[in-house]
Structure 1
Amino acid sequence: MQIQDLPYPDPGLPDARSGPRFLRWLFRNQLGGQLKALAWGLLHFLAVSGLPFCVGLAVQAVVDRSGSRLALTGGLMALCAAGIALGDTFLHRSAVTNWITAAARVQQLLARKTALLGSALTRRVAAGEVVAVSTGDVEKIGWFVEAVSRFTAAALTVVLVCVGLIVYQPALGIVVAVGVPLLALAVLPLLPKATRRADHQREKAGRATELASDTVAGLRVLRGIGGEELFLERYRRASQEVRHAAVRSARMWALIAAIQVLMPGLLMIAVVWYGVHLAREGRITVGELVTVYSSVMLLTYPLRHFEEIAMAYSFSRPSAKRAARVLSLKRATDIDGSREALVPSGDLYDPSTGLLAPAGRLTAVVCGDPDAAGLQAERLGGHPAEEGTSVLLGGVPLDELPLSHARTAVLVQDKDPVLLSGSLRELLDVPASGAVSTDEALAAAQCADVLDSLAQGSLDAEDPLDTRITERGRSLSGGQRQRLALARSLITDPEVLVLDEPTSAVDSHTEARIAEGVRSLRAARTTVVFTSSPLLLDRADRVVLLHDGEVVAVGAHRELLHSDSRYRAVVTRETADEAALREAVDKERAAEAVPHGEETAAAHGPAARGVLEEIEETA
């Protein structure tokens, strides 16, 4: 695989059961590139290791006054130099290729998983963790994958050099063969502690990233309430914790690096001392002593890769663990795409809650808990938070549909929809049935004033649709973002449209017009709206009250206001005292048979009459 061939046609199905398994899976999928890097690495390291033998031969040739052997040694040194240059060049090229292709594979896998899960991803994994995985973690994973081949080449070189020294000069070769493994293993007792400190640093960095992401996303709100300094102070503290953790981790790695420098130095001192002793006794020649000394000195170069692989694994292991956690998330209980490529139609039914949205009707769902409403909306879109009974569309489980068909059938608009940067025309250029035009969708979502505002704020766009929208629509107000997102959803014209609080940030007059526009535009389509707004509820064909994860009431808005106290409490924000007062008034009305309760309200005094009037006006 070459860099110019990216992206992969198919990144494959990863083994996401654990971080180490995911790393091994990546390595196996790049076996060709790894073998290529291993071959170039062996050429490079062996050429470097051949220089001491050439130097020893040259020194001995000078001692023996042999010009022919000196010339031959010069040729061997030139050959080693060519091998070093060639091997280093292509080893670097292969290593970088392995690094980038591994990181690109992980990014493609993450992008595919993000597209599969949609908005459900950030409900299951913190936003900061997703950012950390998709940016810094992919680089660290790629670093370890490409470092494996270089480490293997370095380890094989060390073994071959030790064997060669034993054959070349057994007396000193045995000393080197015993000392080199001790050098490689000297840092092993420190690695667990270094790994724990690196993991701690990663954890702190992930929390800081998450806090920064949340702060930036809510900066407009924070400025409105004057809370930016509070969050900035929290980020400062988190940043300092990251700095302290990084310093502690760096100290441990500095100690490991120092040991990697100290131990080879001690080995060279031992080799020189023992070699001089042998040379005095005449058991070795000067050239052999120089060869062994130079070999030990140059062995520190491949030995550095032992430290690198330890660092790469320590840093990539938590990164791979996080990536595997994201990649192991599933959309549903059964995603096999076994059904025929047909988009179902009919009633939308959730067996776990009893929620039924009849085909072709506007169903409003009232839920006192906004978080529970968001989870239910996600579930209706085929993304259950936990495995369980699937939502049925026309009797077909959404979990058993291919993802593309499930999304064609049901579209969920989150309560906080995301607007990507670009022109408004690009924003509204989404897969659609073609039955709803852009102008119709914008009109139904009451976006006329949004278009005027965008046109006035643009200096070069003649058409409002050509105006640019900043990242996440930060240049727009909350209500403007909601209306543009609603228009985008209406253009797609799905079989079932699920809206989670689509008008929570707009004024009541605009909300009433949006309710009429959506009802008119979606007249023949199934629409489910999660809301507690009386303006939307009053225009729904059917209202469902969800309480503790179950449907407890179904009917029209005005009927439920008078018949169900739980519904009234959510919609009108009625307090317990007001509910008790209403109950008492209703009892007196029934007893006295007074149609409108003027006498009863008067009997309870002006305060009671005012409370009742306020409740009725709100409803």
Structure 2
Amino acid sequence: MTEATGGATRRLIGGMFRRQRRGVALTAGFWSLHQLCEALVPVAIGLVVDQAVGTGSVTAMVWSLLGVFALFTALTMGWRTGLWFLSKAELEEAHLLRLRVVRRVVTGRGISTDRQTGELLSIATSDTQGAAELLELGSRVVSASIGLIVSTVVLLRIEWSLGIGLVVGIPVLVLALNALGPLVERHTSARQEALGQAAGTASDLLTGLRPLRGFGGVEEAARRYRLASRTSLRANVGAVKAGAAFVSVSTFTTGLLIAVVAALAGWFALRGRITIGELITIVGLAAFITDPVLNLADCVFRLATARASAARVAEVLEAPELAGSGDVAAVPGEVVLDDVHTTGLDGVSLTVRPGELLGVVTSEIAAADAVTELLAGARQPESGAVTLAGVPLTELDIASLRRVLLVEPHAVDLFGETLREALRTDDGPPDDAAMASAMAAASAGDLGGLDHALLDHGTNLSGGQRQRVAVARALLADRPVMVFRDPTTAVDAVTEHAIAEGISGHRAGRATVLVTTSAPLLDRCDRVVFVSEGRVAGTGRHRDLLAVPAYADVVLR
């Protein structure tokens, strides 16, 4: 763990405890009451033996029974009440962390990270829950420490030599167990990384299953997943072995400590140094000490897991944005790429005028990616500028930018249980007439109506049907500037012509950019910019540019 990552993790953990300080304090208090009562049970039994059983007093016996009943009532209620406060705090904190991670990933300009989508999903679900478990560990450490302190004080009052032995032996035992923590944390972190990689690989393969089948890549995809899965299995086995070794060592050493204390107490009783009741108290306390010591040992083990989860969550929350985010409100106007240099583009300049339907054709996929990402604000040019109404995109407030300029990517993701829900935007639910108009423009009126049920991510729709729904959703958003990236690659020729007509009619009078090689779409553009080998190689109407051999090769192949 680097120093920067460690600092981010400490800030995350500190913030958790500050936000949930009331719940953690109440949990620690009630669990400390539980441990105090647990430690007093052997003391109470010893007193009952000496003061009631030994004397034969009926009155003492009655009071002893009432006292033991009250002790066990407080013991039980202390644990249950503390668990209630802890569960509430953990659920709230895990939910808050989950929201923060999801908000960090899906809002704004996005984050700069090497993690796959499946890994980010794993962090947003299991790691946020794992990090929230630190709240429990803090309360358990406090309550276990209270139990140990009370036990030690009682033992010192009964027999100072045993008390001193425990005062020295227990810290040595806990410190020795704590030394194993980094080993467990390394194995746990490796396991979580491997699990995240496997989840990411599975997510990506499932997302691309249809094209994988198309070009016969299923076997290779399965081989890669098997490799990731086996790596995850080995890491998981290593983490389990480390945890098992830790538990074995802690159990053995604790058992050895109890055996020594019990043997010494028995010897003292035989010599008359302690009473029978005190012997019962000492043996009971020695057995009770197993609970707080193993509690502390388990906290050390789980601390490694929880810290590894917290580190992964902190990494996402502290990840830099893909591009700068300013506070200038965006307003409609010309979108300009001014002498832009980046991967795929070598000094490209183009202007999207208000009300214009502009086509952008590229001979390389890298150039199309660059244009799309630059207009989305997801990439900063190495040199040059991308501006909206004369203001660089990096200086614009991201929320207002999305209300003016929206990019509909090539990849389609649908959310919701029906088409009606999938078409909703952040502007609120549109009326049925607007949805029907957008669906008609996207040639999607044959999908069974707005209440047509959707499976997860619209998997019961074909690729072309999902693409048409995505076009309809973008048209419903109705931003002053819209950018479409290859919106018709999965539909047939007849549908492609219908969508081209629908987009040009629905977007009339508003700026629209079509990054595509589709001839029907380009034929309806007011102007087409052809980018070849990273430079603008031609500008004009689609039919005029067909005279350029390089352009014709791209759009007619």
CA distance in 2, matches of 1:274, 1:153: 27
Q: Using the TM superposition, name which of 249-258 and 343-352 deviates more.
A: 343-352
Name the structure 2 match of 1:346.
333
CA distance in 2, matches of 1:399, 1:315: 38
Pick closer, same or farther for the CA change 1:555–1:236 going to 2, 3 Å: same
Pick closer, same or farther for the CA change 1:109–1:499 going to 2, 3 Å: same
Q: Using the TM superposition, name which of 426-435 and 362-371 deviates more.
A: 426-435
**Residue 107 of structure 2 corresponds to residue 169 of structure 1:** no
Q: Contact 2:323/2:377 (CA < 8 Å) preserved in 1?
A: no
CA distance in 1, matches of 2:60, 2:34: 25
**Residue 304 of structure 2 corresponds to residue 314 of structure 1:** yes
> What whole-Å deviation, never above 9, does each CA across 1:307-333 have from its counterpart, x for those lacking one?
332233222223222222222345565
Q: Contact 2:413/2:457 (CA < 8 Å) preserved in 1?
A: yes
CA distance in 2, matches of 1:265, 1:255: 15
CA distance in 2, matches of 1:321, 1:363: 46
Cα deviation, residue 570, structure 1: 6.2
Name the structure 2 match of 1:524.
509
CA distance in 2, matches of 1:16, 1:281: 56
Pick closer, same or farther for the CA change 1:327–1:368 going to 2, 3 Å: farther
> What whole-Å deviation, never above 9, does each CA across 1:525-574 have from its counterpart, x for those lacking one?
111111123333333223334467665654444555556xxxx546514x
Amino acid at match of 2:441: A
Cα deviation, residue 229, structure 1: 4.3
Q: Contact 1:538/1:556 (CA < 8 Å) preserved in 2?
A: yes
Matches within 5 A, 1:83-482: 83-117=74-108, 120=110, 125-331=115-321, 334-335=324-325, 337=327, 339=328, 343-351=330-338, 353=340, 354-384=349-379, 391-431=386-426, 437-448=434-445, 451=446, 454-455=447-448, 464-482=449-467
CA distance in 2, matches of 1:386, 1:216: 33
Matches within 5 A, 1:574-593: none
CA distance in 2, matches of 1:60, 1:252: 46
Q: Contact 1:173/1:292 (CA < 8 Å) preserved in 2?
A: no
Amino acid at match of 2:526: D
Cα deviation, residue 213, structure 1: 1.1
Name the structure 2 match of 1:8.
none
Q: Contact 1:412/1:498 (CA < 8 Å) preserved in 2?
A: yes
CA distance in 2, matches of 1:387, 1:292: 74
CA distance in 1, matches of 2:255, 2:305: 28
CA distance in 2, matches of 1:123, 1:196: 22
Per the normalisation by structure 2, the TM-score is 0.88
Instruction: Name stretches of at least 5 consecutive residues in structure 2 with no aligned partner.
Output: 341-348
CA distance in 2, matches of 1:87, 1:326: 37
Residue from 502, 507, 513 that aligns with 2:492: 507
Q: Contact 1:20/1:317 (CA < 8 Å) preserved in 2?
A: no
Pick closer, same or farther for the CA change 1:229–1:467 going to 2, 3 Å: same
Pick closer, same or farther for the CA change 1:441–1:294 going to 2, 3 Å: same
CA distance in 2, matches of 1:377, 1:123: 19
CA distance in 2, matches of 1:113, 1:301: 41
Q: Contact 2:38/2:75 (CA < 8 Å) preserved in 1?
A: yes
CA distance in 2, matches of 1:179, 1:412: 66
Cα deviation, residue 412, structure 1: 1.0
Cα deviation, residue 103, structure 1: 1.0
Q: Contact 2:112/2:322 (CA < 8 Å) preserved in 1?
A: no
Cα deviation, residue 248, structure 1: 2.2
Per the normalisation by structure 1, the TM-score is 0.80
Cα deviation, residue 502, structure 1: 1.0
> What whole-Å deviation, never above 9, does each CA across 1:44-65 have from its counterpart, x for those lacking one?
1111111111122223336752
Q: Using the TM superposition, name which of 174-183 and 28-37 deviates more.
A: 174-183
Pick closer, same or farther for the CA change 1:404–1:376 going to 2, 3 Å: same
Pick closer, same or farther for the CA change 1:554–1:377 going to 2, 3 Å: same
CA distance in 1, matches of 2:279, 2:357: 91
Name the structure 1 match of 2:42.
52
CA distance in 2, matches of 1:313, 1:391: 47
Pick closer, same or farther for the CA change 1:546–1:20 going to 2, 3 Å: farther
Pick closer, same or farther for the CA change 1:553–1:304 going to 2, 3 Å: farther
Higher normalized contact order (CA 8 Å, seq sep 6+, divided by chain length)? 2
Pick closer, same or farther for the CA change 1:314–1:57 going to 2, 3 Å: same
Name the structure 2 match of 1:536.
521
CA distance in 2, matches of 1:569, 1:123: 37
CA distance in 2, matches of 1:329, 1:403: 17
Cα deviation, residue 127, structure 1: 0.9
Pick closer, same or farther for the CA change 1:308–1:512 going to 2, 3 Å: same
Name the structure 2 match of 1:576.
none
% of aligned pairs identical? 31
Amino acid at match of 2:413: V
Amino acid at match of 1:203: E
CA distance in 1, matches of 2:321, 2:538: 30
Q: Contact 1:19/1:318 (CA < 8 Å) preserved in 2?
A: no
Pick closer, same or farther for the CA change 1:570–1:91 going to 2, 3 Å: farther
CA distance in 2, matches of 1:155, 1:268: 18
The RMSD of aligned alpha carbons is 3.0
Name the structure 2 match of 1:572.
553
The number of residue pairs the alignment matches comes to 542
Cα deviation, residue 388, structure 1: 8.6
Pick closer, same or farther for the CA change 1:107–1:385 going to 2, 3 Å: farther
Matches within 5 A, 1:52-71: 52-61=42-51, 64-65=54-55, 67=57, 70-71=61-62
Cα deviation, residue 355, structure 1: 3.7
Q: Secondary structure of 1:192's partner?
A: helix
> What whole-Å deviation, never above 9, does each CA across 1:97-154 have from its counterpart, x for those lacking one?
1221111111221232244147x56986411112211222222122223322222221
Cα deviation, residue 83, structure 1: 1.2
Amino acid at match of 1:447: A
> What whole-Å deviation, never above 9, does each CA across 1:327-356 have from its counterpart, x for those lacking one?
23455655464x46xx50110123462342
CA distance in 2, matches of 1:22, 1:196: 20
Name the structure 1 match of 2:345.
none
Amino acid at match of 2:121: V
Q: Secondary structure of 1:544's partner?
A: strand
> What whole-Å deviation, never above 9, does each CA across 1:62-101 have from its counterpart, x for those lacking one?
6752635555443432222011111111122122112211
Q: Secondary structure of 2:488's partner?
A: coil
Name the structure 2 match of 1:484.
469
